[in-house]
Structure 1
């Protein structure tokens, strides 16, 4: 990957909000590998992320500094932003389910926290670029798209959507408090670029998976499925399991984020969809079949009702971001999931051999 165009004498850190989280710590790791000082800003509120921060410090030493603070702390965030030569804004409340339980906190973290950062950069007024992690949930539940069931997955009737996925031209349609808070933040980032000249771009992500993902049932579902299967536990599917996502290995996502910084001059004020694209589209049932192959045993599954705002299909049309940034080919999903399974085995101390008493399907 090409070097980021910043002068060697610029020793200011790159600020990564949410930098102890899954994608944030992978971005921070790559930045430090390239010789940048990195300032991690994270409340460490999600279980397990403190291990990511410890890993970064052990791996990169003095290149990694951290501020343990909440994105809602306007003064602390402004102090961190004043030091930065660039910002990757990854901090967020990340679960639709949590937003349904406490929509006010979801609003405070995702929208007010983003506005705190944007206003700090506006007042700083030195052209500090910011790349914002948005979501495919800004497009709503896509209920107007007709599907047919084909094998183990839903397939769009529309040939263009089937061949290319959902593009940035798709109208925004915020569903659930999470969709509203992230979608509104997405629009604030774009408008602060337009209104105040902040070099800012938005990346609307589909499902990212990979090493250092602390998957739970509410977020990080690829890792969650693997963890449950490796531990011989039952996996709950919400809906019928035929819903399709285009999953993308985190190494590809990191490349996109860093290239977005490299090319921020022409990307500023624009939003891009990022995911695995049609070649990495997979249904939940297809993923579980692959996990069964990886673990050597049938995966135990139970079904529950659909969740609010769940999309039966989302595949990102990545042609725009790929043509703008010249990105590498995506890691094939089966290969990437196998690599994540191996990392989870090692990091969680799981044996390769499954005890006989765990091999029965519940």
Structure 2
């Protein structure tokens, strides 16, 4: 019997990646994880996957910029989920060329490995809402400790007709990757699609100050440590629980024939829009003690408000209503309590 062809997940030991790999393996797929293990928590996520799916998971410890490794790992892949990335705006400002090499050059190297295949192999890219820039042209007003658009038409969120506008090196590198992936569908017929994510949170997330803010806030609160808010803490994001994000990725693969060459905004939508201060208040209620916060200057490129209009992605991928953020936060708190986790 010929060996089963794997699904390749780059960045498969990361937060979203390991949850996606877990769902794929549980669904009967063999999965090849490519990861450099550079992120905090990646090794423990990989151990978790190996323990849960010892016969389904294979691993290539390699950098996304390694053309030879990509040639080998894409050789038999039946599909590719591309999640490997440099994910922090702060890191991109400190090391912009490194950020470019990982996010932009690494993505093109992967696309070229697929283009050399005789078969048209699907690729789904994890992109970001940062491709829309800082949204400073949108007039906002304070409402219940949160910034909201004055224009009522924007209350449903930002849709895919919004022009991209790359701010910060991170926005540029991820935006370039986003556009290259879409163009490889146009220019070379590779079936690709792009999911521009808002804030994803949930289990297996090792939140830090630079990335994964919901988990970071909760872990700091559990440890009784203060949380630093950059800006005024009233900036708003729509948050999406990890199970719903993974369902979207799998649906994009299933429907690649109809969504190839398209980009979709993926987030929790208006019903799951919450400010940083509101999230801290909810965590305080959940833990039964106040969360101490301190303030620092705004960070470059930070959006005071971003909410996803989920109309197109919901219709195209036939997605269910996402988990309400209050329930997702409670699930995450229960998971951290069961693991005995607090801030590192």
TM-score by length of 1: 0.93
1:10 Cα shift? Answer: 8.1
1:347 Cα shift? Answer: 2.1
Matched, 1:121 2:114: yes
Q: What corresponds to 1:291 in structure 2?
A: 283
C-alpha distance after superposition, 1:189-240 (max 9, x if no partner) = 0000100000000000000000000000000010000000000000000000
The one of 79, 82, 85 aligned to 1:86: 79
Q: What corresponds to 2:272 in structure 1?
A: 280
For 1:252 and 1:295, locate their aligned partners in 2 and report how far apart those are by CA, in whole Å: 25
Matched, 1:223 2:215: yes
* Correspondences of 1:68-147 after superposition (within 5 Å): 68-147=61-140
For 2:187 and 2:52, locate their aligned partners in 1 and report how far apart those are by CA, in whole Å: 40
**Alignment partner of 2:75: what SS?**
helix
C-alpha distance after superposition, 1:118-162 (max 9, x if no partner) = 000001130110000000000000000000001210110111111
1:106 Cα shift? Answer: 0.2
Q: What corresponds to 2:298 in structure 1?
A: 306
**Alignment partner of 1:216: what SS?**
coil
For 1:275 and 1:10, locate their aligned partners in 2 and report how far apart those are by CA, in whole Å: 37
C-alpha distance after superposition, 1:160-181 (max 9, x if no partner) = 111x100000000000000000
The one of 10, 22, 30 aligned to 2:15: 22
1:341 Cα shift? Answer: 1.2
For 2:129 and 2:151, locate their aligned partners in 1 and report how far apart those are by CA, in whole Å: 19
Asked if structure 1 preserves the Cα contact closer than 8 Å seen for 2:219 and 2:341, the reply is no
**Alignment partner of 1:32: what SS?**
helix
Matched, 1:173 2:165: yes
**Alignment partner of 1:125: what SS?**
coil
For 1:260 and 1:52, locate their aligned partners in 2 and report how far apart those are by CA, in whole Å: 24
Q: Report how many aligned residue pairs link the two structures.
A: 342
Structure 1 alignment gaps of length 5 or more: 1-8, 351-362
Superposition RMSD in Å: 1.2
Q: What corresponds to 1:258 in structure 2?
A: 250
Structure 2 alignment gaps of length 5 or more: none
For 1:347 and 1:50, locate their aligned partners in 2 and report how far apart those are by CA, in whole Å: 16
For 1:106 and 1:346, locate their aligned partners in 2 and report how far apart those are by CA, in whole Å: 35
**Alignment partner of 2:40: what SS?**
coil
C-alpha distance after superposition, 1:40-85 (max 9, x if no partner) = 0000011211111111110011100000000011111111011200
TM-score by length of 2: 0.98
Q: What corresponds to 1:346 in structure 2?
A: 338
1:344 Cα shift? Answer: 1.5
For 2:71 and 2:221, locate their aligned partners in 1 and report how far apart those are by CA, in whole Å: 43
